[in-house]
Amino acid sequence: MRAEKRTKKKKRTGLRIFLWSILGIFLILGGIVGYAVFQTKSTMDKIYEPVKDAANPVKLDGQNPFSVLILGIDQRDGDVGRSDTTMVATVNGTTNKAQILSIPRDTKTEIIGHDSTNKINAAYAYGGVKMAEDTVTHFLNGIPINYYIKINMEGLKDLVDAVGGVEVYNDMDISLGKNDVNNNEIDFKKGNVKLDGTDALAYVRIRKTDARGDFGRQMRQQQVIQAVVNKVATTQTLWNFDEILSAVGKNMQTDLTMTDITRIAKNYISARNNVENMTVAGDGGISDGIWYYNVSDAERQKLHDSLAKNLEIK
């Protein structure tokens, strides 16, 4: 009995350490994306996926700033998917400052490696993580991407159910419309909303019925992911540990090793107390019958300069 209790306590401790490590990278971050659980080597093997020809890792000793591309992929059966969420995070261990930049999915940009101009979320569909990294670097006028974390937004359902559901504050009456499996309209009233996995997935997909468009959806995605992280981190009895572990193994990939994550937790964690949330200024418009979010060269340079300063590069 005592041995069993010690094992459960060890699992809880290991889970919290890894969650805060991921938060430390994720900065740590006002909680944008950051849910993961590590307990066995087999799970780490499942989520570790290096990028071919990547040449941007840094020494994570606290002295070197680093960047992370965070992709939330709306991937369904038989579909590679596009990056529903594209975020760039920078972390500086000397100044203890983190930044998190959300790039709207409809942002018009050159797709590097595809010889085309399209919405930025098409880069992942055309060429996976590598093309997404190269395209984001181009869009930000040369900001390097050191690491990535990819999360399957469809798998968010598994995570929410694994922690027993979450509660968020919804700031407006809103509806997904007739998009669920039964073609029924899904409504969410203003106020505190309790979500199971199916409801959570619907909640984070709302865009067309929100006047804020992508910005409103990004906010809801952040809310739900933060709620998952907070619930797991504060749960005293992880009766559902194996289920959470399974959800992470099926729905997350990264080129960060366990050693990398441990170093981030040790050397950069204080940056979570100083987070700058950044947005991209632009205007929507139709070009060749397609709606794009247009960003000026001046705005791209402004974003570059801010991120470059935190990364201590030019």
Structural domain includes residue 180:
yes
Q: Residue 193 falls within a domain, yes or no?
A: yes
pLDDT tens profile 52-96: 877 678 999 999 999 999 888 876 666 666 677 888 989 999 999
**CB–CB of 173/187 below 8 Å?**
yes
pLDDT of residue 191: 93
Q: What is the pTM of this model?
A: 0.77
- Cβ atoms of residues 294 and 51 within 8 Å: no
Residue 35 placed within a domain: no
- Tell me the CA distances in angstroms from 310 to 271, 294, 296, one per residue in order: 12, 25, 22
| Residue 38 is assigned to a structural domain of this protein | no
**CATH number where 188 lies:** 3.40.630.190
- The reply to whether 55 falls in a domain is yes
Confidence (pLDDT) at 18: 41
10 belongs to a structural domain: no
Q: Is 96 exposed, middle or buried (0-12, 13-18, 19+ CB in 10 A)?
A: middle
- In a domain? residue 283: yes
Number of domains in the chain: 1
Point out the residues of the chain with pLDDT beneath 50. Answer: 1-40, 180-181, 236-238
The pLDDT value recorded for residue 214 is 73
Structure tokens at 263: 């170093």
Could you write out the DSSP letters of every residue in the chain?
-HHHHHHHHHHHHHHHHHHHHHHHHTTS-TTSS------SHHHHHHHB-PPTT-------SSSS-EEEEEEEEE--TT---EEEEEEEEEEETTTTEEEEEEEPTTBEEEETTTTEEEETTHHHHHHHHHHHHHHHHHHTTS----EEEEEEGGGHHHHHHHTT-EEEEE-S-EEEEE-STT--EEEE-SEEEEE-HHHHHHHHH--TTSTTTHHHHHHHHHHHHHHHHHHHHH-S--TTHHHHHHHHHHHEEES--HHHHHHHHHHTGGGGGSEEEE----EEEEETTEEEEE--HHHHHHHHHHHHHHHT--
CA distance 99 to 102: 10
* Backbone phi, psi, residue 131, to 5°: -70, -35
- Dist CA 72 CA 102 (whole Å): 11
- Expressed as residue numbers, the domain containing 159 is 43-311
Q: Please indicate, yes or no, if residue 29 is contained in any of the structural domains.
A: no
pLDDT of amino acid 243: 72
